[in-house]
Amino acid sequence: MSGKDQFMRTYVSVDCVVFGFDSNQLNVLLVERNAQLPNSRDLKLPGSLIYQHENADEAAHRVLNELTGIKKMTLKQFKSFTSPKRTQNPEDVRWLEFAYNNKIDRLITISYLSLCKINRRLNSVAKYQSLDWCPVNELPAMPFDHNQIVEESLEEIRRWVEFDPAIVFELLPSKFTESELRKLYEAIYRKELDVRNFHKKILGIEYIVPLDERQSNVAHRAARLYKFDKILYNKRMATIE
């Protein structure tokens, strides 16, 4: 109960797992380190140290805004990663100190989940060499505990969908087909869904509204397009809860 150094004083960052859906599988947005260091081509989750005047949500919004240009993206804090071992790799620490021009001994991170339409044009961010989508099943080994963070985010997204079903539409174009929606659910739950039962369920959900429009440029029967109606959704949620 005395020495100045037994308590953790540290830097705190946010890291964002941004999901996108390419009509087949979930993808995660990764950035390429731009450190002018050898062996620094690694991919990692986008993130940032938190600024003095910010809270963690604001920092995450800032990171996401840099990537997408969207001011207030849908996001959700989901877990803090605090192991002293997460800055065990000297190369990671070297990159950190280069990128932030600060000596960094210990770093904890607060991880965020976010969702983005995969066709959206992304900004180029000075801090990084490039950014790109990566299928969740083909993730490279990443620095820090970023692989573990993605792992846990995959469980979190299911809980999130159950709590707030509307978030899935952030992953789809504004007009989408029933099979796109079904494949998205299959990707999130990693489980095949019965086509007919799914159809029945969608029919019964009033905030998923069928349009008088169909797909174009497909080499088979064109499917009907649907849209998500946020107003109807909010009404429904208000009556249930």
Partner DNA sequence: TTGTCTTATTGTATTTTATACTATAACTAT
Partner DNA sequence: ATAGTTATAGTATAAAATACAATAAGACAA
Interacting residues toward a second copy by CB under 8 A = 1-2, 4-12, 49-57, 77, 79-80, 82-84, 100-102, 106, 108, 110, 159, 163
Q: Residue 199 interacts with DNA (CB under 7 A)?
A: yes
Considering CB distances under 5 to 8 angstroms, the limit depending on partner class, which of a second copy, DNA, none binds residue 53? a second copy
Q: Which does 177 bind (CB under 5 to 8 A by kind): a second copy, DNA, none?
A: DNA
Instruction: Report the residue number, 102 or 234, with the smaller CB distance to a second copy.
Output: 102
- Distance (Å, whole) CA 166 – CA 90: 42
State how far Cα 212 lies from the chain centre.
32
List Cβ neighbours of 181 (8 Å cut-off, separation of 6 or more): 168, 172, 202, 208, 226
Decide if residue 197 touches DNA (CB under 7 A).
yes
- Cβ nearer to DNA, comparing 4 with 220: 220
Interatomic CA distance for residues 53 and 6, integer angstroms: 26
Distance of CA 165 to the CA centre of its chain: 16
Residue type, 217: N
Among positions 106, 117, 127, 201, the unique one binding DNA when judged by CB under 7 A = 201
SS (H, E, C) 75-113: EEEEEEECCHHHHCCHHHHHHHHHHHCCCCCCEEEEEEE
| Burial bucket for residue 57 (CB in 10 Å: 0-12, 13-18, 19+) | middle
Q: Name which of 136, 108, 112 is nearest 22 in CA terms.
A: 136
- Which among a second copy, DNA, none contacts residue 199 (Cβ within 5 to 8 A by kind)? DNA
Q: Which two tokens stand for residue 13?
A: 């960052």
224 binds DNA (CB under 7 A): yes
Does 187 engage in binding with DNA (CB under 7 A)?
no
Nearer to DNA, 70 or 218 (CB): 218
Residue 197, amino acid = N
Do 215 and 225 meet the contact criterion of CB atoms below 8 Å apart?
A: yes
Q: For residue 27, state whether it binds DNA (rule: CB under 7 A).
A: no
Determine, following the binding rule CB under 7 A, whether residue 87 of this chain makes contact with DNA: no
Residue with smaller CB distance to DNA, 117 or 201: 201
Choose between 108 and 134: whose C-beta lies nearer to a second copy. Answer: 108
The residues that touch DNA, with contacts defined as CB under 7 A, are 177-179, 194-197, 199-201, 203, 214, 218-224
